[in-house]
């Protein structure tokens, strides 16, 4: 007994208790604020493009998306993003003639109605349960890499959002130069690392040691990482971008006008419905089903394993309700996105408060500055947006690292490759499903068809004939 009492003080229990604090630290107000801006690398360029090309009402979009952010943050309790419907936005600005605001709204309403019905009837949950995980991972990998490729373009080249094209190479120096973007990348890597600080694995590595000197070294390392992770890195980078807006063009102050624009109901004609559905809703629907519902639900389970996985039915209905409210007034069609969730998580968001804070910020901007805020967005350094988008894309792509067998990896990579080269998540999804079924059919027992029995009998006869 005396020997046991003497050994008791050398246990690592106090260190284990101490090292659970960083996990809670990540839930701090500052971390939530930093995570709130994690998906703006996607949001700002698309809103900017639609405003320039399709005369989207920025004030209306900011006000309605702010309400969506607040509602989803309170409803889901997770950093559930509200992002533009990317396929509709791409069709609206890249195809000629450009879609009008009414046609964009019609496309958003058609997509929303489809997702709402899929959720209401339970079909979305049915699809979610039976879609193979390697196929979902393939969709996530392709979306993540697509974001990363776009981010690299933003960093390396100047962008003309009105034509959705890259122009000249970005200069090294300047207030939107390559050096600024690279500095932002280095800052984010130094402060956030690979994004895994505070996970259970790292805490176990720190605690699982009996050597006093090694324990002290690990504790110092742990303290340094805790200090670095406490820095709201994404928020610092975003605020730097806002400051640079006014330095790049001081005349912005003269162009700012106070108050929101007038909100009115759009007039959507039968022709608008037809054009919006055929040109924009049809390519958007499969993307929304895969990336806005299925991939988001699966990613929520990966990022928050201690919480209940998001319901595909609730997420699908949420997309429908949001657009039923806002599209009639000219707000941009929106959905939830796995890339936005990954980006917000990457920079510190761990609860619904992150998107609530983002919603409050959007609401204040929309009510105070209205459409004149476009002048500020027009001067925001695109290289910094590219940096934020890069980290969000990589975080989403890394969700595919749990493929344990060569067969699963094969299906995932084929699905991702087809999605990227064919520019269609739906095409990649179909190829992934077909490949998965073929591989299962190949390894299936054939005895029920009589093939296995015939093969065994033939093999036995051949062996008997070969015996002298």
148-205: per-residue pLDDT in tens?
999 999 999 999 888 888 999 999 999 999 999 999 999 999 999 887 655 444 444 5
Q: What's the whole-number mean pLDDT along residues 396-420?
A: 93
Tell me the pLDDT tens digit for each residue of 314-353: 999 999 999 999 999 999 999 999 999 999 999 999 999 9
In a domain, 379, yes or no: yes
Write down the pLDDT at residue 11: 38
Residue 450 lies in a domain: no
Is 90 exceeded by the pLDDT of residue 464? no
What is the band of 21 on the pLDDT scale with cuts at 50, 70, 90? very low
Instruction: Report, as an integer, the average pLDDT of 11-15.
Output: 37
- Judged on CB neighbours under 10 Å (0-12, 13-18, 19+), 110 is buried
Q: Looking at residues 121-146, what average pLDDT do you find? A: 93
Determine, yes or no, domain membership for 219.
Answer: no
Instruction: Tell me if the pTM is above 0.75.
Output: yes
User: Is residue 19 a part of any domain in this protein?
Assistant: no
pLDDT at 219: 83
Provide the H-helix boundaries in 168-306: 178-192, 200-207, 212-229, 233-248, 252-255, 270-275, 282-287, 295-303
Residue 421 pLDDT: 86
Distance CA 50, CA 444 (A): 50
Q: How confident is the model at residue 218 (pLDDT cuts 50, 70, 90)?
A: confident
Residue with more model confidence, 386 or 162: 386
Give the tens place of pLDDT for each residue, 235-292.
999 999 999 999 999 999 999 999 999 999 999 999 999 999 999 999 999 999 999 9
Three-state secondary structure call for residue 83: strand
Strands 83-84 vs 165-169: parallel, antiparallel or unpaired: unpaired
pLDDT at 16 over 90: no
158, containing H or E segment: strand 157-160
Q: Would you say residue 2 has pLDDT above 50?
A: no
User: Can you give the residue range of the structural domain that contains 45?
Assistant: 29-195+225-402
Let me know if 3 is exposed, middle or buried by CB neighbors in 10 A (0-12, 13-18, 19+).
exposed
C-beta separation of 315 from 364 below 8 A: no
On the 0-12 / 13-18 / 19+ scale of CB atoms within 10 A, 400 is buried
Q: At what angle do helices 40-54 and 133-156 cross, to 10 degrees?
A: 70
> What is the per-residue pLDDT across 29-39, written as a single tens digit (0 to 9) for each?
899 999 999 99
Mean pLDDT of the chain: 86
In this predicted structure, what is the pLDDT of residue 376? Answer: 94
pLDDT above 90 covers what percent of the chain?
71
* Mean pLDDT score, 215-230: 82
CB-CB neighbours of 305 under 10 Å = 9
Q: Provide mean pLDDT across the span 102-109.
A: 97
Instruction: Supply the pLDDT for residue 207.
Output: 52
> Does residue 133 belong to any structural domain of this protein?
yes
Within a domain: 158: yes
Domain membership flag for residue 233 = yes
| Of the candidate ranges 228-232, 300-304, 393-397, the one whose mean pLDDT is the lowest | 228-232
Counting the structural domains of the chain, the total is 1
- Bond before 366 cis per omega within 30 degrees: no
381: closest CA among 288, 264, 246? 246
What's the chain's length in residues? 468
What's the pLDDT band for 445 if we cut at 50, 70, 90? low
Q: What is the mean pLDDT of residues 101-119?
A: 97
| pLDDT per residue as tens digits for the range 51-79 | 988 899 999 999 999 999 999 999 999 99
Q: What is the pLDDT of residue 210?
A: 55
Cα distance between residue 149 and residue 166, in whole Å: 13
Q: What is the pLDDT of residue 280?
A: 94
Is residue 8 domain-resident?
no
Mean pLDDT for the stretch of residues 78-105: 92
């Amino acid at each position: 007994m005396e020997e046991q009492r003497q050994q008791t003080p050398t246990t690592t229990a106090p260190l284990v208790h101490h090292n659970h604090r960083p996990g809670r630290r990540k839930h701090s107000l500052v971390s939530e604020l930093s995570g709130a801006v994690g998906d703006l690398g996607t949001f700002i360029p698309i809103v900017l493009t639609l405003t320039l090309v399709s005369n989207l009402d920025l004030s209306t979009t900011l006000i309605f998306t702010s309400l969506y952010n607040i509602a989803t943050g309170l409803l889901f309790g997770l950093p559930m993003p509200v992002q533009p419907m990317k396929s509709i936005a791409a069709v609206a600005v890249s195809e000629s003639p450009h879609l009008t605001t009414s046609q964009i709204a019609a496309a958003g309403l058609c997509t929303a109605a489809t997702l709402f019905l899929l959720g209401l009837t339970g079909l979305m949950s049915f699809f979610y349960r039976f879609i193979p995980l390697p196929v979902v991972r393939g969709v996530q990998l392709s979306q993540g890499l697509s974001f990363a490729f776009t981010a690299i373009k933003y960093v390396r080249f100047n962008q003309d959002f009105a034509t959705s094209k890259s122009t000249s190479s970005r200069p090294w120096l300047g207030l939107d130069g390559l050096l600024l973007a690279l500095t932002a990348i280095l800052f984010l890597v130094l402060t956030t690392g690979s994004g895994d600080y505070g996970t259970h694995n790292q805490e176990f590595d720190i605690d699982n040691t009996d050597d006093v000197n090694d324990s002290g070294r690990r504790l110092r390392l742990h303290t340094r990482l805790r200090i670095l992770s406490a820095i709201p890195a994404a928020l610092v980078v975003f605020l730097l971008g806002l400051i640079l807006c006014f330095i790049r063009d001081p005349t912005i102050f003269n162009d700012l006008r106070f108050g929101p624009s007038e909100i009115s109901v759009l007039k959507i004609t039968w022709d608008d419905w037809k054009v919006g559905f055929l040109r924009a809703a049809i390519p958007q629907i499969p993307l929304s089903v895969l990336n806005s519902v299925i991939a988001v639900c699966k990613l929520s389970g990966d990022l928050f394993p201690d919480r209940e996985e998001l319901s595909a039915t609730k997420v699908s209905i949420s997309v429908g309700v949001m657009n039923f409210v806002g599209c009639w007034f000219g707000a941009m069609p929106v959905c939830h996105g796995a890339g936005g969730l990954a980006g917000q998580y990457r920079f510190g968001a761990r609860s619904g408060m992150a998107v609530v804070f983002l919603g409050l910020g959007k609401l204040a901007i929309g009510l105070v500055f209205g459409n004149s805020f476009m002048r500020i967005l027009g001067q925001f350094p695109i290289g910094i947006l590219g940096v934020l988008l890069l980290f969000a894309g990589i975080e989403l792509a890394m969700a595919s690292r749990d493929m344990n067998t060569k067969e699963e990896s094969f299906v995932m990579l084929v699905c991702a490759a087809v999605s990227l080269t064919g520019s269609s998540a739906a095409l990649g999804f179909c190829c992934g499903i077909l490949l998965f079924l073929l591989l299962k059919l190949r390894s299936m027992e054939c005895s029920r068809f009589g093939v296995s029995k015939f093969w065994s009998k033939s093999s036995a006869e051949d062996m008997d004939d070969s015996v002298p």
